[in-house]
Structure 1
Amino acid sequence: MRRKEQRSNLSITDSTERRFNLPKSHRLSGKKNFEELFNSSSFFATSKITLRFVIHSEASRKFLAGFIAPKRIGNAVERVRVKRLLREAYRLNQHLITDLSPSCTFAVHYAFVARHSDIDFKAAQKDVSYLLRKLREHVISKTSAQ
């Protein structure tokens, strides 16, 4: 049996420590949420990924992310692989948008929609970080105008 790796005893004193986890409570789920997202949303797109989003005025709804791979991409194996790549790319770059949450009085629901199955991790990470930066700029400009 393999032994668990011990955590290091090094304590991080920097208060700007970023957590790179993505718990299920931060994922967008439920038919109602996805219907709302697709019926009344805006979007940004790259050649391989589309980001659909809705800004809510209620802060209690928080930031929730969804990951979609439509059936036209390919079989189930390809769709699962693409969603896994999108989740990992988002997990590493989520700080670009979630750093807004302590001072904000709004919530954002968004979903990454894959357009092709021939995406690799570098391309997914590049596109996801670009889309999150665009979303951040849009949210900041939208909320500062109010």
Structure 2
Amino acid sequence: MRKGRSNASSSHDDYSLPRAKILRGRKNFSRLFQRDACVIRETRVDLRFQIVDNTSFGCQMGFIVKKSLGKATKRNRMRRLLKEAYRHHQHKLTGVLNELQVTLHGAFMAKSVGVSYEDVEQDVVMLIEHLCNKDPISGDSKS
């Protein structure tokens, strides 16, 4: 028997981040670092993304914190903060992607560790809003 969730919840009420929505695999990540991938920058977090030819719509997002930023405990905390901020605001992005019927693979990349959740959340929200208003999703231009 399952605890907690009912099957009748709408997408706007569901703030979960299942493993299926997290970007995994070497090939997917290497695709994000090719020349045709787009990058949006904020002060503490960057977003790399690419529109993928896929039959399903929506997005898969990865969370990257470089080893050079500090010890594993600080990097893991930063990764958790990125995931949490994205989890709370992912509905803004998935709604736009479903309307446009495109699949997006992306990764939030931390520039530093030891920042507050509010700062990380502010950058993630700005990146998501910028991505929703950006032309590459609709296929007009690149940054």
Pick the TM interval, shorter chain: 0.7 to 0.9
Alignment partners' CA distance in 1, 2:88 and 2:127: 13
Task: Indicate the residue corresponding to 1:37 in structure 2.
Answer: 32
Alignment partners' CA distance in 1, 2:85 and 2:33: 22
TM-score by length of 1: 0.82
Task: Indicate the residue corresponding to 2:107 in structure 1.
Answer: 111
Report the residue type matching 2:23 in the other structure.
Answer: L
Task: Indicate the residue corresponding to 2:88 in structure 1.
Answer: 92
User: What percentage of aligned pairs have identical amino acids?
Assistant: 30
TM-score by length of 2: 0.84
Cα 1:59–1:138, aligned 2, differ >3 Å: closer, same or farther? farther
| Per-residue deviation, 1:58 | 3.0
Q: Which segments of 5 or more consecutive residues in structure 1 lack a partner in the other structure?
A: 1-5
Task: Indicate the residue corresponding to 1:77 in structure 2.
Answer: 73
The higher radius of gyration belongs to: 1
Report the residue type matching 2:51 in the other structure.
Answer: I
Task: Indicate the residue corresponding to 1:64 in structure 2.
Answer: 60
* Residues 18 and 95 in structure 1, CA contact (< 8 A), matched pair in contact too: no
Alignment partners' CA distance in 2, 1:59 and 1:100: 16
Alignment partners' CA distance in 2, 1:77 and 1:42: 29
The one of 106, 118, 121 aligned to 1:125: 121
| Per-residue deviation, 1:57 | 3.8
State how many pairs are aligned: 135
* Residues 59 and 104 in structure 1, CA contact (< 8 A), matched pair in contact too: no
Alignment partners' CA distance in 1, 2:11 and 2:25: 33
Q: Which segments of 5 or more consecutive residues in structure 2 lack a partner in the other structure?
A: none
